[in-house]
Amino acid sequence: MDGPGFEILYQDEHCLVVNKPPGLLTQAPPGIDSLEVRVRAWLEQYQRKPATAIFPPASGTPPCPDRQQEKIASTISQPPDHNHQSKIPSPAIPAQEAETETQKVGPETPTWPIVNPQTDTKKLYLGVPHRLDRPVSGAILFALSRRAAQRLSAQFERRSIKKLYWACLEGRVEPAQGTWKDFLRKVPDQPRAEIVPMEHPEALYAVLHYRVLAYVEWGSWVEIQLDTGRYHQIRIQAASRGHPVLGDVQYGARQTFGPPVQDLREQPIALHARTLVFRHPKTKQTLIIRAPLPDCWKQLHLPDPIPYPATDPPCNPWEGVF
């Protein structure tokens, strides 16, 4: 069951994961449209509905089949260690825990939206522990209680939450896998970042790991895992190496991406938050959430990815979950 202008990937009474559309702000000042405004409005609308509208019969068809159920037994793709290059680590999920999680939110146990219709809408809590840039799409996590927000924020601070992105970059990225390390800063009074020397007083260390999924005529389809979460990190680190994200004219992209828009601030770029791996703030169980690609990516005609070890899960760009 989706909200106005966004897709729900997972929800219970503690947290919510949605698929953010490109071109939409995560947060904004009052009076400006944003994902936070839309999610809050959707939650408030649920609170005004009778319980029968919120909790469908158990025998019914789930509102979001194959999107709200997660099979945690699979792991995130991990590249082979060629020439001792850094690789994208795979989160360790014990077999016993994985089995428990599959039973908790597996295909036979749909997770319906859990909202109290009698609750005063003024008491509605919506925490935003992280954000995505306006032109970026993909999975974003919200907290539905103060305690959940505190626990999720602590995971982000410890960098225990795994975030995988898909990016389409101009040019041929070589080697096919590796690590990028830089020092960045946000340019004062400007919505952009830049590479600076380590000695710069505003320098922040930035690290990401990548692997190429496919080489195509327009460039490279790349999977990226962030070790740090700096301002515009992927965009500036890729652009500084001559591989800007498709459509990202702010960082020197020459190839267009997505349908034309009247407001250039709403123009999407080919960067997508594909996967979130985090501990549930209440149960402590591991959740793996995948966000399907937006329609504007279909113009890229993505090929089959470069084969990796048989232990890697299948890589289907249009699939929402493992």
HSE (CB half, 13 Å, CA atoms) of 131?
15
What is the C-alpha to C-alpha distance for residues 198 and 134, in angstroms, rounded to an integer? Answer: 28
Buried b (16+ CB within 10 A) or exposed e, 211-233: bbbebeebbbbbbbbbbeebbbb
For residue 163, which of 70, 314, 273 has the smallest C-alpha distance?
A: 273
Could you give phi then psi for residue 120, rounded to 5 degrees? -65, 130
**Coil, helix or strand for 50?**
coil
| Enclosing H/E stretch for 147 | helix 146-158
* 3-class DSSP string for 77-89: CCCCCHHHCCCCC
Q: Which two tokens stand for residue 117?
A: 């219709």
As beta bridge partners, residue 179 has 209
- Which tokens sit at 96? 């016993």
| From 12, 133, 182, 248, active-site residue | 133
Give how far Cα 154 sits from Cα of 20, 115, 198, 279, 280, Å. Answer: 23, 25, 27, 11, 12
Say which residue the tokens 């019969």 belong to: 57
Find the angle CA(283)-CA(273)-CA(67) to the nearest 5 degrees: 55
Rg of the chain in Å (alpha carbons): 20
222 sits in which H/E element: strand 219-226
CB 39 within 8 A of CB 20: no
Residue 133 is a catalytic residue: yes
Residues serving a catalytic function are 133
